[in-house]
C-alpha cells in the first residue's frame, strides 16, 4: 500500500462519540507530536518523516515517540522497512549510472597525458636523431647483435659459459670468458665475440683493435664479418674514412653483410 494512503484511527477523544475518523500515518504521528509539543506542530511529508528518522535528524524526544509508534504498529515498521530498501536500491542504481560518467572522465583525463607523453617521446627521438653525427646514424641504423654460430653451439668449458652469458645478454660476463679463451689455439671466434661484446657495452674503442686481430683465413671466424663490426665501431666514433676502409674488406667477398657494406659505401661516395 502506498505510504500516502496509509490510514489509521485517531486517538483524539473529541471523536469518541462520533464515527471515528481515519487519518494517514504521517498525520497520526504529527498529532502525537502535537500532543507532546502543542506549540510546535511539525508538518512533514511521509518521505521526509522516514528520511529524518533514518538519517538521524529527529530530536531525541521525537525519535522516542516515533520508535514507540513503530513498536505499537507493525504496519508502520513494515512500511519503513520497504522505504529503507527502496532507498538502498535507488542508491545502487545511482552509483551504477555514475560509472559510465566516471569512466568517461578518466578517459578524458588520460588523453591529454598520453598526448603529452607522445610529444615528449617524439621530441626526444628527434633530438637524439638530429644530434647524432653521420657515423652514429649509420651505427644506429645497421648495428645488430651477431648471432651465435655453430662454433658456439658445440662449445664446452669456458667457451660454453661464454656463449651462455652472451645469449643471456650478459655481455660483461661473456667478455670476461672470451678474454680468457682468446689465448687458446684456434680461438679467433673468441676475438670476434669479444669485440662484439665491447660494442654492446658501448666501448667501440676497445672493440676495434680486437676485431682487427682476426686473420684473413681464420678457420673459426670470418674476417669479412669481423671487418663489418670493426667498421661499425669506427662509425660509432664518427671516423668515417677508417670505417669505409674496413667496409671494403666486407664488401669484397660473399658474407651475410656484403650487400649492406656495398650500400653504405655507395652512400658515402
Mean pLDDT for 94-111 is: 58
Neighbours of 153 (CB within 10 A): 9
Place of cell 662484439: 196
Query: Residue 76 has what pLDDT?
Result: 72
Query: Residue 231 has what pLDDT?
Result: 98
Residue 265 pLDDT class (50, 70, 90 cuts): very high
Residue 240 three-state SS = helix
Residue 267 pLDDT class (50, 70, 90 cuts): very high
Q: Which of 53, 25, 56, 59 is nearest to 40 (CA)?
A: 59
Q: What angle, 0 to 180 degrees and rounded to 10, lies between the N-to-C axes of helices 171-181 and 188-200?
A: 150
Neighbours of 3 (CB within 10 A): 17
Count of CA atoms in the C-beta half-sphere (13 A) of 134: 8
Q: Is the pLDDT of residue 104 over 50?
A: yes
How far is Cα 250 from Cα 153, in angstroms, rounded to an integer?
25
How far is Cα 251 from Cα 165, in angstroms, rounded to an integer?
31
Cβ-count burial 57-69 (b if 16+ within 10 Å, e if not): ebeeebeebbeeb
Q: Is the pLDDT of residue 15 over 70?
A: no
- Angle made by CA atoms 49, 50, 52, in degrees to the nearest 5: 65
How far is Cα 222 from Cα 188, in angstroms, rounded to an integer?
9
Mean pLDDT for 45-63 is: 76
Q: Is the pLDDT of residue 43 over 50?
A: no
How far is Cα 166 from Cα 106, in angstroms, rounded to an integer?
45
Q: Is the pLDDT of residue 65 over 80?
A: no
Domains of the chain by residue range? 3-78, 139-268
Domain 139-268 has CATH 2.60.120.260: no
* pTM exceeds 0.75 for this model: no
How far is Cα 30 from Cα 218, in angstroms, rounded to an integer?
109
Amino acid at each position: 500500500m502506498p505510504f500516502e494512503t496509509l490510514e489509521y484511527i485517531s486517538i483524539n477523544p473529541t471523536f469518541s462519540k462520533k464515527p471515528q475518523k481515519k487519518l494517514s500515518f504521517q498525520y497520526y504521528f504529527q498529532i502525537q507530536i502535537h500532543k507532546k509539543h502543542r506549540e510546535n506542530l511539525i508538518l512533514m511529508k511521509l518521505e521526509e518523516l522516514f528520511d529524518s528518522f533514518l538519517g538521524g535528524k529527529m530530536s531525541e524526544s521525537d525519535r522516542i515517540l516515533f520508535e514507540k509508534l513503530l513498536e505499537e504498529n507493525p504496519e508502520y515498521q513494515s512500511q519503513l522497512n520497504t522505504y529503507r530498501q527502496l532507498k538502498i536500491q535507488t542508491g545502487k542504481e545511482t552509483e551504477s549510472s555514475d560509472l559510465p560518467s566516471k569512466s568517461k572522465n578518466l578517459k578524458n583525463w588520460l588523453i591529454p597525458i598520453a598526448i603529452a607523453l607522445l610529444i615528449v617521446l617524439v621530441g626526444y627521438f628527434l633530438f637524439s636523431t638530429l644530434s647524432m653525427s653521420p657515423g652514429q646514424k649509420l651505427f644506429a641504423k645497421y648495428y645488430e647483435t651477431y648471432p651465435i654460430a655453430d662454433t658456439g653451439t658445440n662449445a664446452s668449458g669456458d667457451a660454453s659459459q661464454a656463449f651462455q652469458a652472451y645469449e643471456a645478454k650478459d655481455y660483461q660476463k661473456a667478455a670476461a670468458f672470451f678474454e680468457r679463451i682468446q689465448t687458446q689455439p684456434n680461438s679467433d671466434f673468441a676475438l670476434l665475440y669479444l669485440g662484439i661484446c665491447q660494442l654492446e657495452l658501448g666501448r667501440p674503442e676497445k672493440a676495434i683493435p680486437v676485431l682487427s686481430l682476426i686473420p684473413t683465413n681464420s678457420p673459426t671466424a670470418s674476417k669479412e664479418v669481423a671487418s663489418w663490426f670493426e667498421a661499425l665501431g669506427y662509425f660509432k666514433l664518427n671516423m668515417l674514412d677508417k670505417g669505409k676502409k674496413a667496409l671494403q674488406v666486407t664488401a669484397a667477398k660473399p658474407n651475410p653483410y656484403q650487400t649492406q657494406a656495398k650500400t653504405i659505401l655507395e652512400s658515402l661516395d
